[in-house]
């Protein structure tokens, strides 16, 4: 398999860069996978200078065929579905079935925003004056997209597609652990005919180039997905120049199971809601809240269905859960397992290393922990879920909201009125009823509270890559003839 080995800077593929090399390890084997160059500050500067120049000099934002270009990007992704999925699977340790889903969703994302171009614009406003008032949606200019390692290609496309659709120039920085699919995306975008310099990909270490990238005077907006702490740092740096920022951050999402739900269906679905992608999912439903009258029944079924998960080789289509992305991510989960034990939590299954080699870890179900304990409050980003009982709807909502995060949530009930009530009261940006997920290309996705602000997906995302300008044209009333 050929791995991408160059950065896309200033319209050229660069095999050497000032930040040294990123040595990638394959999570499923612990063997070296490949190396890519790491951008240094001079590389970042060049990328940003040339992207800003391309925005100013090319007519990308005014081109009437931008939708055609985006459709070609989607077609390019589709044509490379297997290659991109295998790349992502080997780089992240993601089961191949999940990686294939991710690549198809990435193509659909470009198709959606290609279609969005002709449906997105300003409006005319009946102001209290003689004339015509209308708004324009204008591109921001140079947008930097910074993405994490858990869904590298999809998180990148969620930002790059609406940013390009609205006519911006884009510099994409993937996570150091997982730059490969972003670099491959660079090829696809180039082949689709995006003008030189309008899209660049700069892999590099966030600890070395992140601040420089964010604070650079040419950057108008930072679209970020990652940890809350990194988001907070970006926000502070952006404040100096009043840059636009959108933040998709961490989560500690609740899954509420009411006694009137189909308890067995909820227990069968719950493992993949938290252990999918080995728990490295910002939406992982890692706090399962269960009404006390069905608590034991649910817990037994949950543990049973967790034990039945197919954990193994990411290359196998039957695999549901692969390894964690890195040794340090596995150590992090191990520390939380120890913390759960120290806090007298009951480990009901898992909690130990799985097959070796590889950063495998058997999914953990813990109960008996106080809802305000660290394990129940902090984002672990690994295969560990806490189960907590509640007595009534009021307590369920209180516990669901007892976190600084507010990204996602699910609730299971047979009572429609309760579903509507609770879905509204839980403080999260997305909420699913009697199913695991409510994330769709067409619908807005993002967080409340410390899970960030701004939205990916849907038409909402297009708004966030534009400025709105209001124009008033005086039209003196003409005399009737
Ligand atoms: P992270 O450490 O915050 O890193 C995210 C990205 O930021 C990476 O590209 C990283 O580069 C870069 N970065 C690091 N320091 C930076 C700085 N000072 N300035 C600018 N960029 C910097 O997050 P992660 O560990 O990769 O990802 C896991 C987190 O992402 C979790 O908290 C998860 O909940 C969150 N997430 C949220 C969503 C959502 O939609 N809400 C979706 C997916 C993931 P390096 O890799 O080089 O350090």
Residue 15 to residues 3, 145, 354, 446: CA-CA distances in angstroms? 12, 21, 37, 36
Closest CA to 282 of 255, 242, 248, 327: 248
Q: How far is the CA of 131 from the centre of ligand 1 (A)?
A: 48
> Does any ligand 1 atom lie closer than 6 A to the CB of residue 189?
no
Angle at which helices 66-79 and 81-92 cross, to 10°: 70
> Does any ligand 1 atom lie closer than 6 A to the CB of residue 233?
yes
Question: Quick one: pLDDT at residue 226?
Answer: 98
Question: Tens digits of per-residue pLDDT, 432-450?
Answer: 999 999 999 999 999 999 9
Closest CA to 142 of 14, 233, 45: 45
Mean pLDDT of 33-52: 98
Which two three-digit tokens encode residue 216? 């650079």
Is the same domain home to 419 and 301?
A: yes
Residue 284 to residues 142, 201, 279, 406, 410: CA-CA distances in angstroms? 32, 28, 6, 12, 10
Mean pLDDT of 379-405: 98
Q: Where are the alpha helices (DSSP H) in 382-457?
A: 393-400, 416-425
User: Residue 53: pLDDT band by 50, 70, 90 thresholds?
Assistant: very high
Tell whether the model's pLDDT for residue 306 goes beyond 80. Answer: yes
Residue 351 to residues 271, 337, 347, 362: CA-CA distances in angstroms? 15, 6, 7, 6
Catalytic residue of the set 282, 283, 376, 386? 282
Q: Is residue 438 part of a domain?
A: no
Mean predicted lDDT score pLDDT of the chain: 98
Mean pLDDT of 118-141: 97
Q: Write the DSSP string, 53-113.
A: HHHHHS-GGG-TTHHHHHHHHHHHHHHTHHHHHHHHHHHH---HHHHHHHHHHHHHHHHHH
User: Residue 481: pLDDT band by 50, 70, 90 thresholds?
Assistant: confident
Question: Quick one: pLDDT at residue 315?
Answer: 98
* Ligand 1 mutation target, pool 230, 405, 430, 449, most atoms within 8 A of CB: 230
Tell whether the model's pLDDT for residue 478 goes beyond 90. Answer: no
Question: Quick one: pLDDT at residue 479?
Answer: 77
> What's the rounded Cα separation, in Å, for the pair 75 and 73?
5
- Which residues make Cβ contacts (< 8 Å) with residue 439, sequence separation at least 6? 283, 408, 430, 445, 457
- Count the domains in the chain: 2
Mean pLDDT of 8-13: 97
Q: Is residue 441 part of a domain?
A: no
Q: Which helix (H) or strand (E) holds 246?
A: strand 244-248
Tell whether the model's pLDDT for residue 480 goes beyond 80. Answer: no
User: Residue 80: pLDDT band by 50, 70, 90 thresholds?
Assistant: very high
Q: How far is the CA of 250 from the centre of ligand 1 (A)?
A: 9
Residue 456 to residues 223, 283, 453: CA-CA distances in angstroms? 9, 14, 10
Question: Quick one: pLDDT at residue 167?
Answer: 98
Q: How far is the CA of 204 from the centre of ligand 1 (A)?
A: 13
Q: How close are the terminal C-alpha atoms of the chain, in Å?
A: 77
> What's the rounded Cα separation, in Å, for the pair 319 and 28?
12
Is 190 designated active site? no
Residue 105 to residues 59, 98, 441: CA-CA distances in angstroms? 29, 10, 8
Is the same domain home to 328 and 207?
A: no
> Does any ligand 1 atom lie closer than 6 A to the CB of residue 444?
no
Q: Is residue 439 part of a domain?
A: no
* Ligand 1 mutation target, pool 206, 274, 405, most atoms within 8 A of CB: 206
> What's the rounded Cα separation, in Å, for the pair 73 and 285?
33
> What's the rounded Cα separation, in Å, for the pair 124 and 367?
56
Question: Tens digits of per-residue pLDDT, 335-371?
Answer: 999 999 999 999 999 999 989 999 999 999 999 999 9
Is the same domain home to 366 and 302?
A: yes
Q: How far is the CA of 249 from the centre of ligand 1 (A)?
A: 8
Is the same domain home to 75 and 198?
A: yes
Which two three-digit tokens encode residue 90? 């080997």
Mean pLDDT of 74-92: 98
User: Residue 130: pLDDT band by 50, 70, 90 thresholds?
Assistant: very high
Question: Hunting for tokens 């967790």 — which residue is that?
Answer: 306
CATH number at residue 385: 3.40.309.10
Is the same domain home to 273 and 208?
A: no
Question: Quick one: pLDDT at residue 477?
Answer: 82
Q: Is residue 128 part of a domain?
A: yes
Beta-ladder partners of 133: 125, 472
> What's the rounded Cα separation, in Å, for the pair 36 and 203?
8
> What's the rounded Cα separation, in Å, for the pair 431 and 255?
9
Tell whether the model's pLDDT for residue 223 goes beyond 90. Answer: yes
Mean pLDDT of 82-102: 98
Residue 96's Cβ-side half-sphere holds a number of Cα atoms within 13 Å equal to 12
Q: Is residue 478 part of a domain?
A: no
Is the same domain home to 23 and 79?
A: yes
Is the same domain home to 166 and 281?
A: no
> Does any ligand 1 atom lie closer than 6 A to the CB of residue 270?
no
Tell whether the model's pLDDT for residue 114 goes beyond 80. Answer: yes
Mean pLDDT of 172-201: 98
Is the same domain home to 280 and 348?
A: yes
Residue 153 to residues 160, 163, 446: CA-CA distances in angstroms? 10, 15, 18
Tell whether the model's pLDDT for residue 290 goes beyond 80. Answer: yes
Helices (H) and strands (E) in the chain, counts: 15, 20
Question: Quick one: pLDDT at residue 188?
Answer: 98
Beta-ladder partners of 199: 170
Q: Is residue 2 part of a domain?
A: no
- Which residues make Cβ contacts (< 8 Å) with residue 202, sequence separation at least 6? 7, 8, 9, 39, 43, 44, 47, 171, 172, 173, 209, 213
Is the same domain home to 418 and 333?
A: yes
Q: Is residue 77 part of a domain?
A: yes
User: Residue 324: pLDDT band by 50, 70, 90 thresholds?
Assistant: very high
Q: How far is the CA of 228 from the centre of ligand 1 (A)?
A: 8
Is 248 designated active site? yes
Beta-ladder partners of 246: 223
Residue nearest to atom 19 of ligand 1 (CA): 210
Is the same domain home to 162 and 281?
A: no
Question: Quick one: pLDDT at residue 225?
Answer: 98
> Does any ligand 1 atom lie closer than 6 A to the CB of residue 450?
no
CATH number at residue 241: 3.40.605.10
Tell whether the model's pLDDT for residue 131 goes beyond 90. Answer: yes
Beta-ladder partners of 453: 247
Q: Residue 183 is part of which domain span?
A: 7-249+447-469
Catalytic residue of the set 88, 208, 248, 291? 248
Is the same domain home to 143 and 199?
A: yes
Q: 3-state DSSP call for residue 375? A: helix
> Does any ligand 1 atom lie closer than 6 A to the CB of residue 251?
yes
Closest CA to 29 of 101, 91, 74, 86: 91
> Does any ligand 1 atom lie closer than 6 A to the CB of residue 99?
no
> What's the rounded Cα separation, in Å, for the pair 409 and 427?
9
Q: Is residue 102 part of a domain?
A: yes
pTM above 0.95? yes
> Does any ligand 1 atom lie closer than 6 A to the CB of residue 279?
no
Is the same domain home to 342 and 452?
A: no
């Amino acid at each position: 398999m050929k791995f991408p080995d160059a950065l896309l800077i200033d319209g050229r593929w660069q095999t050497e860069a000032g930040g040294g090399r990123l040595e990638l390890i394959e999570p499923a084997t612990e063997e070296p996978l490949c190396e890519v160059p790491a951008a240094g500050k001079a590389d970042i500067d060049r990328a940003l200078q040339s992207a800003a120049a391309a925005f100013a000099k090319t007519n990308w934002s005014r081109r009437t065929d931008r939708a055609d270009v985006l459709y070609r990007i989607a077609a390019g992704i589709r044509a490379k579905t297997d290659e991109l999925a295998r790349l992502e699977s080997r780089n992240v340790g993601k089961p191949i079935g999940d990686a294939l889903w991710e690549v198809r969703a990435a193509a659909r994302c470009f198709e959606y925003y290609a279609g969005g171009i002709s449906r997105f614009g300003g409006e005319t406003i009946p102001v209290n004056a003689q004339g015509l008032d209308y708004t324009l949606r204008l591109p921001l200019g140079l947008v930097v997209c910074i993405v994490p390692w858990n869904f590298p290609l999809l998180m990148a496309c969620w930002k790059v597609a609406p940013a390009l659709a609205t006519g911006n120039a884009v510099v994409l920085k993937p996570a150091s652990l997982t730059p490969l699919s972003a670099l491959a995306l660079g090829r696809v975008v180039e082949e689709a005919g995006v003008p030189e310099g309008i899209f660049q990909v700069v892999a590099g270490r966030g600890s070395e180039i992140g601040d420089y990238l964010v604070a650079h005077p040419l950057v108008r907006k930072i679209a970020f997905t990652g940890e809350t702490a990194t988001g907070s740092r970006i926000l502070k740096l952006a404040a100096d120049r009043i840059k636009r920022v959108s933040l998709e951050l961490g989560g500690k999402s609740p899954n509420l199971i009411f006694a009137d739900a189909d308890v067995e269906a909820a227990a069968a679905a719950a493992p993949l809601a938290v252990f999918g992608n080995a728990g490295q999912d910002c939406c992982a439903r890692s706090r399962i809240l269960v009404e006390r009258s069905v608590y034991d029944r649910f817990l037994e079924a949950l543990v049973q269905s967790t034990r039945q998960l197919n954990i193994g080789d990411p290359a196998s289509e039957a695999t549901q859960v692969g390894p964690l992305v890195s040794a340090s991510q596995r150590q992090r989960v191990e520390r939380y397992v120890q913390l759960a034990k120290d806090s007298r939590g009951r480990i009901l299954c898992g909690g130990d290393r799985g097959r070796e080699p590889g950063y495998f870890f058997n999914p953990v179900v813990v109960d008996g922990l106080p809802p305000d304990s660290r394990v129940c409050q902090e984002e672990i980003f690994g295969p560990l879920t806490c189960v907590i009982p509640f007595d009534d709807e009021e307590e369920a909502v209180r516990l669901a909201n007892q976190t600084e995060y507010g990204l996602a949530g699910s609730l299971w009930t047979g009572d429609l009125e309760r579903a509507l009530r609770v879905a509204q009261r839980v403080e999260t940006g997305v909420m699913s009823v009697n199913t695991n997920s409510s994330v769709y290309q067409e619908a807005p996705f993002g967080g409340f509270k410390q899970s960030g602000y701004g939205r990916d997906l849907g038409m909402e995302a297009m708004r966030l890559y534009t400025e709105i300008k209001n124009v008033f044209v005086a039209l003196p009333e003409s005399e009737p003839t």
